């Protein structure tokens, strides 16, 4: 085999062309794997989202059923004694006492 500039240039061109096509094939293969992975992830996400929505709907139904059972026991117009209500009553008492103190100071 004769090694001269012509054979070196031709072999470099052939290697470049083969390398280009090999890289294109590898790129297409990697892209197909990535697309399959993306589709699988979307399928899992949609399945999880559907299950989550079903659980939320079921919880809403159970909560409304529980409230329907308890609703007759609650008197109309009454509010349960919660920490928020107790705090509101304390504030109202303080405001009322502050008003009476102000009116007593004016007289």
N-terminal to C-terminal alpha carbon distance within the chain: 124
- What does the domain layout of the chain look like in residue ranges? 5-76
Instruction: Report d(CA 81, CA 36) in Å as an integer.
Output: 57
Instruction: Report d(CA 37, CA 32) in Å as an integer.
Output: 9
Q: pLDDT tens digits, residue range 11-37? A: 999 999 999 999 999 999 999 999 999
Q: pLDDT tens digits, residue range 40-83? A: 999 999 999 999 999 998 988 888 888 888 777 776 655 555 55
> Quick check: helix, strand or coil at residue 90?
helix
Supply 12's token pair.
């470099």
What pTM does this model have?
A: 0.47
Mean pLDDT of the chain: 82
């Amino acid at each position: 085999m004769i090694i001269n500039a012509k054979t070196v240039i031709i072999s470099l061109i052939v290697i470049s062309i083969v390398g280009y096509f090999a890289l294109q094939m590898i790129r297409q293969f990697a892209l197909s794997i990535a697309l399959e992975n993306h589709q699988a992830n979307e399928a899992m996400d949609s399945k999880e989202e559907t299950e989550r929505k079903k659980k939320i709907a079921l919880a809403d139904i159970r909560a409304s059923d529980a409230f329907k059972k308890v609703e007759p026991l609650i008197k109309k117009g009454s509010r349960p004694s919660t920490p928020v209500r107790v705090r509101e009553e304390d504030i109202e008492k303080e405001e009322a006492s502050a008003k009476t103190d102000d009116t007593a100071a004016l007289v």
